[in-house]
Structure 1
Amino acid sequence: MASYTPLDEIPKIHAELRETFRSGITKPIAWRRHQLHQLARLAQENADEIADCLYKDLGRPKQESIFADICTTIELSLLAASKLEEWTTHGEPPVQPWQQSWKPRVEKHPKGVGLIIAPWNFPVSTALQPVYGAIAAGCCAAIKPSELTPHSAAFLAKTIPKYLEPSAYKVILGAVPEITKALELKWDHIFYTGNGRVGRIVSAAAAKHLTPVTLELGGKSPVLVDSTADLDLTAKRVLWGKVVNAGQICVAPDYILAEKDVVPQLVNALKKHGQDFYPNGALTSDSFGKIVSDAHFKRLTELLQRTKGKVVFGGQSDEKTRGIEPTVVVVEEGDVLLEDEIFGPILPVLAVESVDAALHYLKDRDYPLVLYGFSNSDANKQKILDATTSGAVAFGDTIQHLSIHGAPFGGVGESGHGSQSLQYTFDAFSYMRPVVDIPFQDEQFFGARYPPYTEKSLEFFSALLKIPIPE
């Protein structure tokens, strides 16, 4: 396992990245494209090693690692490389006819040196996906992987310098002392993926330097199920969203609000599909992951001990392997499982009188990263859209909205701010710079602005005071 980065090395890393950025080598489009191709090549050529690291860190099935961490990185890096000219093209703002000669444009420039702080649940893709945005924008970056996934972190520290320009992209290994030291420094953008508690620490540190921050957080993403839904397919799709990475994903369905008349049938369908997914039990299945650490295992098993709900499926665990079965629990309002984000394979089901009752339940709660709805009623879907606030809304399936790479992915309120995915990630590491070139010959338009002011010049600038304003 790789050693943590010495604390006195972190300012040196920061200084070298800033010197590299100031040299200008990251700005040419050809250079950016090459680095993006290298990032895709890193994921492609090391797919087996990445999958092995994820298995050691998370017990992650190889298929999940291939589609969630490896292929996503390849696809987005290649797409970004193909879009560079489009993203970096200067915009032309609308102007008055007398301003046409100014050659006005809005240029997109790199912010500078970024700090990328990745979480443990998808430790490779969440570290590398912001990197493609930084590269595409022409930025340098330091990447801080999670210490809870040491094999993946060591892989990134070893491999990134072999593929990307080592003076422009560096890895910082460590835990709280190392990231605390990094946050003392002035970065040009910080991209943090994780939980709200640490997000507040990152924001406070960034505020000291007025550093802009992208916060990709999480929260309790609810699932609304009405009586018009296809309950069998709903159960299958919701349960799949809950078992990917053993529920350790920010867009996992956290809990279900179902109209009470359909709860028995929905619960039976969840049980059926759970047995179909894992006919010999999830704890020994090669298709189901493990909990990342002893602390998180203890947190989840204590939730199961404290709930007053009825466990209708699963519930078994194995401390030695940190395995917890997919577990469906029928609960009453106020249950412990409805308090904080679960971030594990436990799925509470709460019966509500109606869709309106479900929306009332959500009204005073934190805005989720995504809200899932299962209904065949267009009226109910519109009602959900009109009455809620969330980072995203997905009807009819879970997690799959992430595959629409041209749409922004991000939260609102407690679930974060800022967006990512393709151009949105590029935009996060860029700033807009208006440029004008006003000819000396246009002096004829500016006579009224100069002192001494006169009644005539005042009348010229007061024209808008006399225009009628519509009621």
Structure 2
Amino acid sequence: MSVKFKACNSCQRNGRLTCRRTRLGEPCLRTYPLECVDLLRRARAAFKAGHTIKESSRLAQLEAVVQMLEEHECDFVQVLGKDLHKPHFETVMSELILVKNEALYAISNLKKWMQPQQVEKNLSTTLDDCFMVNEPLGVVFIVGGWCSPVQMCLVPLVGAIAAGNCAIINPSECTVNTAELLHRLIPLYLNKECFHVILALKNDLPDIVEQKFDHVFFTGTREDGNRIAQAAARTLTPVTLVLASKNPCYVDQHCDIVTTAQRIAWARFHNAGQSLVAPDYILCNKSVQVRFVQAMKCCLMQFFGPNPKESRSFGRIVNADIFNKTKDILWKSGKVAVGGQAIEAEKYIAPTILTDVVDTDLIMQQDVFGPVLPLLTVQNVDEAIAFINKHEKPLCVYAFSNNSEVISQLMNETSSGSFCSNDCVLQSLIVTLPFGGVGTSGTGSYHGRYSFDTFSHKKSCLLRSLRFECVTYLRYPPYEERTLSLMAWASTLSQRGQGWCQIL
């Protein structure tokens, strides 16, 4: 029997005919900007009441996140399978364990993070107490991406909780099943007044951002990030942006080509190529390219078999729009050396390698969220660096070489959000390393302590006594040259290891 669909009454009243459609008789879960105002009001009231301030409250919420992931692992595997055809292995490793590690690390270090941080003093403040305290910002808005829809929502949430904030989370509309699972589970585990999940379309996000949060954390494309940043600027709301970019990968002639191909293939074709941190294109010389393509053919056969469409280890494109865009880019760029097959009904694109790609090809002009890897020819590492530096700063730069000088040159002479040698993606998974972009690939960073700092205000504090006026009176008028010399001496920091500077 066919299932009838219609727009819900609220959608019809607001003239929104393109919203997520629901089964007849079921409530629409979508959140509208005006509805978000009430959630924001409730979250602000909860924050002002101090529900998130105490260390014990923060620890309880962090432990609840871990509990939610452990008790509903099967549910997360199921919804990510529906949304992205994501294998169980990838869901557990790249989504659930990553978030769990973030929460456990925050639990272990929260007491230390919350302590005041002492700072260096000069002679005039030597008897005072100078320090910074970490204050929560208030109510933060977290907009998750669809590439990794669980961790892109929950890793920032862990930082917001650890820092003592309330939060409103908006999972991506592209991964409907995952979004609705988060919408259902988070109120069951976290404080219902402090933490909310909304289901809004990306076109509504600027209106929601303008409701004035204390911080906005966004993961996604540059185009959407630009709209979010402009909306936040209108209310002077600080933002963290983690944005898609063209991540280059240089493959040197001095490397183990088989191991290199395996590590790049895993990173590029993981989650069917839908990743912000995967290598976007390969730079290598012509002789390396021939060997690299052959090695990639072998490892793709090893990874996914003769027909990747039948492999339980290979995903699908998230929706028809991104499928069609990726397919068009694929067919208008370079020459297909491996793969190239596309089945629209299944949103399937085979792992594909393109050769004879040039900088003006469409695939080099647009962000690609799909299993397509273009190869460009350069003569040497200097030419590769020049090519990288003439483009916008990427989120990640990768380099494969057994020559440490080549690695150091690429690391030191390029600028990017992160750098990794002889592997890919792993630098973005380490809880003790900050992760974020630079320039057009984003602003700000997160993970571990850096998430805590992102969602905290470092308040400068100076605690003085009313005693010792016999010294501080020197700063008062009428001014004299003699007292200026004394005050300059007392107020100037010394060079390291030289003691206090002397009066001339």
Interval of TM-score (by shorter of Structure 1 and Structure 2): over 0.9
Number of the residue aligned with 1:380: 406
Deviation larger for 90-99 or 120-129: 90-99
* 1:360 CA drift (Å): 1.4
1:202 and 2:201 matched: no
Letter matched to residue 161 of structure 1: P
Aligned match for 1:313, one of 330, 338, 343:
338
Number of the residue aligned with 2:272: 246
Could you tell me whether the CA contact under 8 Å between 2:122 and 2:493 is conserved in 1? no
1:324 and 2:326 matched: no
CA distance in 1, matches of 2:119, 2:490: 22
Runs of 4+ in 1 over 3 A off after TM superposition: 452-469
Deviation larger for 44-53 or 280-289: 280-289
1:31 and 2:61 matched: no
Secondary structure at the aligned position of 1:337 is classed as helix
Could you tell me whether the CA contact under 8 Å between 1:140 and 1:169 is conserved in 2? yes
* 1:467 CA drift (Å): 13
Long gaps (5+) in structure 2: 1-21, 23-27, 496-504
1:414 and 2:446 matched: no
Secondary structure at the aligned position of 2:265 is classed as helix
CA distance in 2, matches of 1:458, 1:66: 65
Number of the residue aligned with 1:59: 85
- 1:377-456 to structure 2, matched below 5 A, reads 377-456=403-482
CA distance in 2, matches of 1:215, 1:65: 24
Could you tell me whether the CA contact under 8 Å between 2:205 and 2:228 is conserved in 1? no
CA distance in 2, matches of 1:455, 1:420: 49
- 1:145-294 to structure 2, matched below 5 A, reads 145-294=171-320
Could you tell me whether the CA contact under 8 Å between 1:283 and 1:317 is conserved in 2? no
Could you tell me whether the CA contact under 8 Å between 1:160 and 1:170 is conserved in 2? yes
Could you tell me whether the CA contact under 8 Å between 1:216 and 1:411 is conserved in 2? yes
Could you tell me whether the CA contact under 8 Å between 1:196 and 1:415 is conserved in 2? yes
Letter matched to residue 417 of structure 2: G
Alpha carbon RMSD of aligned pairs, Å?
2.0
Encode CA deviations 1:435-465: one digit per residue, 9 max, x unaligned. 2221111222221222333454455456699
* 1:271 CA drift (Å): 0.8
Aligned match for 2:365, one of 339, 348, 354:
339
Could you tell me whether the CA contact under 8 Å between 1:10 and 1:181 is conserved in 2? no
CA distance in 2, matches of 1:339, 1:400: 26
Secondary structure at the aligned position of 2:133 is classed as strand
Letter matched to residue 357 of structure 1: E
Number of the residue aligned with 2:18: none
CA distance in 2, matches of 1:166, 1:177: 26
- Residues 434 and 265 of structure 1: CA distance in aligned 2, closer, same or farther (over 3 Å): same
- Residues 459 and 425 of structure 1: CA distance in aligned 2, closer, same or farther (over 3 Å): closer
CA distance in 2, matches of 1:468, 1:142: 47
1:89 and 2:124 matched: no
- 1:81-160 to structure 2, matched below 5 A, reads 81-160=107-186
Could you tell me whether the CA contact under 8 Å between 1:229 and 1:374 is conserved in 2? yes
Secondary structure at the aligned position of 1:251 is classed as coil
- Residues 211 and 442 of structure 1: CA distance in aligned 2, closer, same or farther (over 3 Å): farther
Aligned match for 1:297, one of 323, 333, 340:
323
Number of the residue aligned with 1:5: 31
CA distance in 2, matches of 1:71, 1:467: 46
Could you tell me whether the CA contact under 8 Å between 2:77 and 2:92 is conserved in 1? yes
CA distance in 1, matches of 2:235, 2:308: 48
CA distance in 2, matches of 1:227, 1:104: 54
* 1:331 CA drift (Å): 2.2
Secondary structure at the aligned position of 1:435 is classed as strand
Could you tell me whether the CA contact under 8 Å between 1:246 and 1:345 is conserved in 2? yes
CA distance in 2, matches of 1:61, 1:154: 20
Could you tell me whether the CA contact under 8 Å between 1:283 and 1:318 is conserved in 2? no
CA distance in 2, matches of 1:346, 1:412: 24
Encode CA deviations 1:230-285: one digit per residue, 9 max, x unaligned. 11111111011111111100011101001222111111001111111111411121
Secondary structure at the aligned position of 1:390 is classed as coil
Could you tell me whether the CA contact under 8 Å between 1:363 and 1:388 is conserved in 2? yes
Encode CA deviations 1:23-48: one digit per residue, 9 max, x unaligned. 11211101100100001111111111
CA distance in 2, matches of 1:462, 1:63: 63
Letter matched to residue 272 of structure 1: C
Encode CA deviations 1:284-338: one digit per residue, 9 max, x unaligned. 211100001100000011112212x221111101111101000001023222222
Encode CA deviations 1:343-392: one digit per residue, 9 max, x unaligned. 21000011211111111111210111111101011111121122211111
CA distance in 2, matches of 1:30, 1:464: 42
Deviation larger for 271-280 or 146-155: 271-280
CA distance in 2, matches of 1:103, 1:35: 33
Number of the residue aligned with 2:501: none
Number of the residue aligned with 1:367: 393
CA distance in 2, matches of 1:15, 1:29: 23
CA distance in 1, matches of 2:492, 2:331: 72
Letter matched to residue 52 of structure 1: Q
CA distance in 1, matches of 2:174, 2:492: 66
Letter matched to residue 412 of structure 1: V
Letter matched to residue 120 of structure 1: W
- Residues 177 and 199 of structure 1: CA distance in aligned 2, closer, same or farther (over 3 Å): closer
- Residues 268 and 468 of structure 1: CA distance in aligned 2, closer, same or farther (over 3 Å): closer
1:41 and 2:58 matched: no
Q: Provide the aligned length of Structure 1 versus Structure 2.
A: 468
Secondary structure at the aligned position of 2:468 is classed as helix
* 1:404 CA drift (Å): 2.0
Long gaps (5+) in structure 1: none
